[in-house]
């Protein structure tokens, strides 16, 4: 374990990612945490056909050949964290009171090991105590049955949950009578779904790995793949080697966008990196919509100058609506405004547009949280789609849209019906197959759920994975909300802060991880996941579970459902847990695209789900792909002297799980309480490097404060600032959310600084 008292170290930011340092870091984490035997066994199985799916990101595996080492440094850290041989058992909880555990850091929490048995924190108690599974289920069932209305219960899902567990979970909550199924997506790619639905009719990406390898231009906007999707770098490298070009749009110069040394290739292992982005636009925070409007303006101009030979007019005529209005919106947007909003010169934007149209216009745009977590996220993403529609860069080889998902099964969970606003067709299908009345009233998303708990309108909080307290915005407000509940219960693998800030009663329900053997009555079971590209595949754990008392997520849901709802004419809850094939049959009966699920998912690489947008079939109300035409927008500060703070991930964390205290690519060692600032902005405010500052965020309802952040000068546009999630979540106002998607605006918080 790293010493938390070691002083901050600083180096120059790196200009390429991976290579030998990544391999060394992987081994260090795996050997020190999981130990040689458990660790090596887990690594050898990771992402192999017949092995388990990496619980880190949702980037797909190659369809055909997989290297023995089809994992990345951060996948290895995720495995080390899960396959650790350390345990947090009854003795641990007898030793530490809740108050003592609250004083420890998130890093310390993760280092303690795996949770091994169900625990209860009774009202007024200082320590967790053991409880039997049976008593835990009875307690939850009694509480649920005692509520005045099913809508007083909230059922959260984090994106690691398997398809099987997710399907049962939503089936249970709907039998119980509520659509209160907020999930981590609400804080993540909800804006992508909200944008892609009306634009192209499907809330998912439309490309395959082959498309990435053969694209002319890949734009990576608002994402940091070197840290968060490291295996994506191999695809970007392939694109470059095939003659494609990578363009990065990001306020920070991220190592993984600049260069990549493939650790499994001879050159890469010697730290000889392939250059990735050959154009790097260091956009102002939230200036992306302006850039895409500028690209569109340029393409329109080039088309006019070249006798309408640039834009795909045939595609537009056959497949789209709204082009005229969009052309007008482009004409109404001035270059002055585009340059002002983006901070990028007209020449640079034109250069990018010319790259896109130079050859076959095979354009792919990849994006993540740098686009989705803004007030105007939905408009911005629709603007990206507008550019694609102009040149027909969707539904053909080497071209399309690529929202890069976060959690390894976040996309699958939605497919399974984890959605507070489930479409009517899904309800009808559930009713047909399971012969019950599915509730129609929309449920709470994450922010609405927090408000409901805060107001006392929701009293029971159940989390299928995740770390709700630390992941949600406005930590103090969310803590109050959880504390007002009668019961909070968490299905988890590791200790985290959500287990310490509980309702009147708190429950810990420890479950098996992906790496572990899932043995049920009818033998060993596997689960399935859907990756970022809509491929459904199996995942089989083989490690001996760290404790005999763990239950699988599926078994936990079926036992709870059995107690709360009881068997129906069509559902035998406990039978589902004995044999997951039965759940897959139920999924096949309910959800289109899962024909012969049990047969097809046993094929080594799994199968692709149908994706109509990829086939140029548009499931929109008008059966067309739709241009949008909003006015250009950008985050506006109330006071121009203030800064815009974005909260992002370091290289040593998985969301709220802190694996280590370094952010190697950005040159930071031993410290997480830092704020990156533009050097001129620091000078102007009289802040010296590594001086401690107090951050105040400003919002309509008042101020929020966070103290003790070290100021780090970093190359970024003036006016921008960056601090790590979750330490900075106290600053994110609960009501600062994106239009339409209601996603917290974790990438744009108005702040001021004071030297401490
Ligand atoms: N190792 C590891 N892997 C992960 C995760 C993890 O925590 N650790 N998390 C997983 C999850 S759930 C998710 S959602 C993904 C997250 O993956 P990312 O979205 O890559 O994660 P962030 O760290 O939030 O990075 C946001 C990036 O957007 C940039 N950015 C911020 N604001 C703007 C803007 O206005 N415009 C532009 N163009 N860029 C901007 C930031 O500088 C940063 O590079 O990763 C997944 N994979
Ligand atoms: N300020 C700010 N806030 C953010 C973000 C941001 O960029 N900035 N990003 C947002 C995003 S993109 C996301 S996705 C959310 C993430 O929100 P969550 O998904 O809620 O959080 P995680 O940190 O991924 O959850 C980690 C916990 O999951 C549990 N866990 C791990 N593996 C398993 C498993 O196999 N089964 C079960 N049942 N539990 C398991 C462990 O106990 C661990 O402590 O946070 C959001 N919050
Ligand atoms: Mo995410």
Q: Is the CB of 492 under 6 A from ligand 2?
A: yes
The residue nearest atom 14 of ligand 1, judged by CA position, is 406
Residue 34, CA distances (Å) to 27, 39, 69, 442 in order: 10, 5, 17, 43
The residue nearest atom 47 of ligand 1, judged by CA position, is 228
Residue 604 banded pLDDT, cuts 50, 70, 90 = confident
Q: Is the pLDDT of residue 322 over 60?
A: yes
d(CA 596, CA 593): 9
Q: Is the CB of 74 under 6 A from ligand 1?
A: yes
- 161 alpha carbon to ligand 2 midpoint, in Å? 11
- 228 alpha carbon to ligand 1 midpoint, in Å? 7
d(CA 523, CA 521): 6
State the pLDDT at residue 65. 53
Residue 540 banded pLDDT, cuts 50, 70, 90 = very high
Residue 38 banded pLDDT, cuts 50, 70, 90 = confident
State the pLDDT at residue 66. 54
What is the 8-class DSSP label of residue 515? T
Question: What confidence tens digit (pLDDT) does each residue in 612-627 have?
Answer: 999 999 999 999 999 9
CATH fold of 190-403 reads Dimethylsulfoxide Reductase; domain 2 (3.40.228)
Residue 621 — φ and ψ, nearest 5°? Answer: -55, -35
State the pLDDT at residue 369. 98
- Which ligand 1 atom sits closest to the C-alpha of 159? 12
Between residues 402 and 55, which one has the greater pLDDT? Answer: 402
Residue 273 banded pLDDT, cuts 50, 70, 90 = confident
Give yes or no for a contact between 511 and 493, defined as CB atoms under 8 angstroms apart. Answer: yes
Nearest Cα residue to 365 out of 415, 310, 291, 297:
291
Give yes or no for a contact between 233 and 665, defined as CB atoms under 8 angstroms apart. Answer: no
Mutate to test the pocket of ligand 2, among 52, 184, 476, 747 (most ligand atoms within 8 A of CB): 184
Query: Which are the contacts of 234, defined by CB distance < 8 A and separation ≥ 6?
Result: 260, 262
Q: Is the CB of 344 under 6 A from ligand 1?
A: no
State the pLDDT at residue 73. 83
Q: How far apart are the first and last CA of the chain?
A: 30
Query: Considering only 52-56, 271-275, 456-460, 663-667, which range has the smallest mean pLDDT?
Result: 52-56
Q: Is the pLDDT of residue 67 over 70?
A: no
User: Which DSSP string do the residues of 670-713 spell out, in sequence order?
Assistant: S---EEEE-HHHHHHTTPPTT-EEEEEEEETTEEEEEEEEEEEE
Question: What does the angle CA 489 – CA 493 – CA 497 come to, to the nearest 5 degrees?
Answer: 60
What DSSP element (H or E) covers 120?
Answer: strand 119-121
Q: Is the CB of 465 under 6 A from ligand 2?
A: yes
Q: Is the CB of 415 under 6 A from ligand 1?
A: no
Q: What would the two tokens of residue 480 be? A: 């109050």
Q: Give the closest ligand to the alpha carbon of residue 159.
A: 2
Q: Is the CB of 375 under 6 A from ligand 2?
A: no
Residue 57, Cβ density class (10 Å: 0-12 exposed, 13-18 middle, ≥19 buried): buried
- 526 alpha carbon to ligand 1 midpoint, in Å? 30
Q: Is the CB of 725 under 6 A from ligand 2?
A: yes
Q: Is the CB of 406 under 6 A from ligand 2?
A: yes
Mutate to test the pocket of ligand 2, among 157, 493, 552 (most ligand atoms within 8 A of CB): 493
Question: What confidence tens digit (pLDDT) does each residue in 465-494 have?
Answer: 999 999 999 999 999 999 999 999 999 999
The residue nearest atom 7 of ligand 2, judged by CA position, is 648
Between residues 578 and 61, which one has the greater pLDDT? Answer: 578
The residue nearest atom 2 of ligand 1, judged by CA position, is 228
Q: Give the closest ligand to the alpha carbon of residue 725.
A: 2
State the pLDDT at residue 195. 98
All structural domains of the chain with their residue ranges: 114-188+411-597+606-614, 190-403, 643-755
User: Could you give the dihedral angle defined by the CA atoms of residues 114, 118, 121 and 122, in that order, rounded to the nearest 10 degrees?
Assistant: -170
CATH fold of 643-755 reads Barwin-like endoglucanases (2.40.40)
Q: Is the CB of 656 under 6 A from ligand 2?
A: yes
The residue nearest atom 11 of ligand 1, judged by CA position, is 406
Q: Is the pLDDT of residue 68 over 50?
A: no
User: What does R_g of the chain's alpha carbons equal in angstroms?
Assistant: 25
Residue 266's CB: how many other CB atoms inside 10 A?
Answer: 8
Q: What would the two tokens of residue 67 be? A: 């290297």
Provide mean pLDDT across the span 184-209: 97
Q: Give the closest ligand to the alpha carbon of residue 407.
A: 1
Q: What would the two tokens of residue 205 be? A: 């990406």
d(CA 652, CA 232): 18
Q: Is the CB of 514 under 6 A from ligand 2?
A: yes
User: Could you give the dihedral angle defined by the CA atoms of residues 480, 481, 482 and 486, in that order, rounded to the nearest 10 degrees?
Assistant: 110
d(CA 46, CA 44): 6
Strand pairing category for 674-677 and 535-539 = unpaired
- Which ligand 1 atom sits closest to the C-alpha of 285? 35
Q: What would the two tokens of residue 76 be? A: 């290895």
Q: What's the CATH class of domain 114-188+411-597+606-614?
A: alpha beta
d(CA 72, CA 412): 22
Q: Give the closest ligand to the alpha carbon of residue 376.
A: 1
- 298 alpha carbon to ligand 2 midpoint, in Å? 40
Question: What confidence tens digit (pLDDT) does each residue in 488-538 have?
Answer: 999 999 999 999 999 999 999 999 999 999 999 999 999 999 998 999 999
Question: What confidence tens digit (pLDDT) does each residue in 409-445 have?
Answer: 999 999 999 999 999 999 999 999 999 999 999 999 9
Between residues 36 and 275, which one has the greater pLDDT? Answer: 275
Between residues 54 and 660, which one has the greater pLDDT? Answer: 660
Q: Is the pLDDT of residue 70 over 70?
A: no
The residue nearest atom 37 of ligand 1, judged by CA position, is 222
The residue nearest atom 4 of ligand 1, judged by CA position, is 228
Q: Is the pLDDT of residue 453 over 90?
A: yes
- Which ligand 1 atom sits closest to the C-alpha of 722? 42
Question: What confidence tens digit (pLDDT) does each residue in 636-695 have?
Answer: 999 999 999 999 999 999 999 999 999 999 999 999 999 999 999 999 999 999 999 999
% of residues, the chain, pLDDT over 70: 98
Give yes or no for a contact between 449 and 154, defined as CB atoms under 8 angstroms apart. Answer: yes
Q: Is the CB of 160 under 6 A from ligand 2?
A: yes
The residue nearest atom 32 of ligand 2, judged by CA position, is 493
Q: Is the CB of 399 under 6 A from ligand 1?
A: no
Residue 26's CB: how many other CB atoms inside 10 A?
Answer: 23
Mutate to test the pocket of ligand 1, among 193, 222, 380, 719 (most ligand atoms within 8 A of CB): 222
Residue 332, CA distances (Å) to 318, 344, 553 in order: 26, 19, 53
Q: Is the CB of 26 under 6 A from ligand 1?
A: no
Residue 36 banded pLDDT, cuts 50, 70, 90 = low
d(CA 447, CA 103): 27
Query: Considering only 195-204, 458-467, 603-612, 683-692, which range has the smallest mean pLDDT?
Result: 603-612
Q: Is the CB of 745 under 6 A from ligand 2?
A: no
Mutate to test the pocket of ligand 1, among 29, 75, 228, 658 (most ligand atoms within 8 A of CB): 228
Give yes or no for a contact between 374 and 380, defined as CB atoms under 8 angstroms apart. Answer: yes
Question: What confidence tens digit (pLDDT) does each residue in 25-34 have?
Answer: 888 887 777 6
């Amino acid at each position: 374990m790293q010493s938390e008292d070691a002083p901050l170290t600083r180096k120059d930011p790196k200009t390429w990612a991976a290579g030998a340092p990544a391999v060394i870091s992987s081994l260090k984490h795996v050997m020190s945490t999981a130990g040689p035997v458990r660790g090596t066994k887990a690594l050898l199985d990771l992402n192999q056909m017949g092995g388990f799916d990496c619980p880190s990101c949702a980037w797909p595996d190659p369809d055909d050949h997989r290297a023995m080492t089809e994992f990345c440094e951060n996948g290895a850290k995720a495995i080390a964290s899960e396959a650790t041989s350390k345990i947090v058992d009854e003795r641990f909880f007898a030793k530490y009171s809740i108050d003592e555990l609250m004083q420890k850091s998130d890093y310390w929490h993760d280092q303690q090991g795996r949770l091994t048995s169900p625990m209860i924190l009774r009202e007024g108690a200082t320590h967790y105590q053991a409880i039997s599974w049976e008593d835990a289920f009875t307690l939850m069932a009694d509480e649920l049955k005692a509520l005045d209305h099913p809508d007083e219960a909230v059922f959260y899902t984090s994106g690691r949950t398997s398809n099987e567990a997710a399907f049962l979970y939503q089936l249970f909550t709907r039998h119980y009578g509520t659509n209160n199924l907020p999930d981590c997506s609400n804080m993540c790619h909800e804006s992508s779904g909200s944008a892609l639905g009306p634009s192209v009719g499907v809330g998912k990406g439309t490309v395959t790995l082959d498309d990435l390898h053969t694209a002319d231009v890949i734009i990576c906007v608002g994402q940091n793949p070197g840290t968060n999707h490291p295996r994506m770098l191999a695809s970007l490298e392939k694109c470059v080697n095939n003659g494609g070009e990578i363009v990065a749009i990001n306020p920070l110069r991220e190592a993984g966008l600049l260069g990549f040394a493939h650790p499994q290739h001879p050159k890469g292992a010697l730290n000889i990196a392939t250059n990735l982005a050959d154009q790097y636009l260091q956009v102002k925070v939230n200036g992306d919509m302006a850039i895409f409007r500028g690209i569109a303006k340029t393409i329109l101009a080039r088309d006019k100058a070249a006798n309408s030979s640039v834009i795909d007019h045939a595609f537009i005529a056959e497949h789209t609506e709204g082009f005229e209005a969009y052309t007008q919106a482009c004409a109404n947007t001035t270059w002055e405004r585009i340059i002002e909003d983006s901070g990028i010169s007209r020449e640079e934007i034109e250069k990018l547009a010319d790259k896109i149209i130079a050859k076959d216009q095979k354009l792919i745009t990849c994006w993540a949280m740098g686009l989705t977590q803004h007030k105007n996220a939905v408009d911005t993403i629709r603007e990206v789609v507008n550019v694609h529609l102009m040149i027909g860069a969707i539904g053909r080889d080497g071209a399309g849209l690529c929202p890069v998902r976060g959690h390894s099964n976040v996309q699958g969970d939605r497919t399974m019906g984890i959605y507070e606003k489930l479409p009517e067709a899904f309800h009808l299908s559930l009713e047909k197959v399971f012969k019950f009345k599915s509730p129609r009233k929309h449920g709470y998303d994450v922010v609405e759920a927090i408000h409901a708990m805060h107001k006392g309108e929701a009293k029971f909080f159940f989390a299928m994975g995740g770390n709700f307290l630390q992941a949600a915005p406005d930590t103090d407000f969310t803590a109050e909300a959880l504390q007002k509940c009668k019961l909070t219960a968490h299905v988890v693998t590791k200790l985290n802060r959500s287990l310490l800030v509980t309702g009147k009663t708190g429950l810990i329900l420890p479950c098996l991880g992906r790496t572990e053997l899932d043995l049920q009555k009818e033998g060993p079971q596997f689960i399935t996941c859907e990756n970022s590209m809509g491929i459904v595949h199996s995942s089989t754990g083989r490690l001996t579970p760290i404790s005999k008392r763990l239950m699988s997520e599926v078994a936990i849901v079926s036992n709870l459902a059995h107690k709360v709802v009881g068997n129906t004419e069509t559902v035998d809850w406990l039978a589902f847990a004995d044999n997951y094939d039965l759940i897959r049959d139920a999924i096949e009966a309910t959800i289109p695209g899962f024909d012969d699920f049990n047969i097809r998912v046993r094929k080594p690489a799994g199968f692709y789900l149908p994706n109509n947008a990829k086939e140029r079939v548009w499931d929109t109300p008008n059966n067309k792909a739709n241009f949008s035409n909003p006015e250009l927008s950008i985050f506006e500060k109330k006071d121009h002297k203030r800064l815009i703070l974005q909260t992002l991930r370091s290289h040593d964390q998985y969301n709220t799980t802190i694996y280590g205290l370094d952010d190697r690519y950005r040159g930071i060692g031993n410290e997480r309480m830092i704020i990156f600032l533009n050097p001129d902005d620091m000078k102007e405010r009289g802040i010296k490097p590594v001086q401690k500052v107090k951050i105040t965020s400003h919002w309509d309802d008042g101020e929020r404060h966070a103290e003790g952040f070290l100021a780090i000068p970093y190359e970024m546009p003036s006016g921008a600032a960056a601090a790590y999630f979750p330490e900075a979540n106290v600053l994110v106002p609960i009501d600062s959310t994106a239009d339409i998607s209601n996603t917290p605006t974790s990438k744009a918080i108005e702040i001021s600084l004071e030297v401490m």
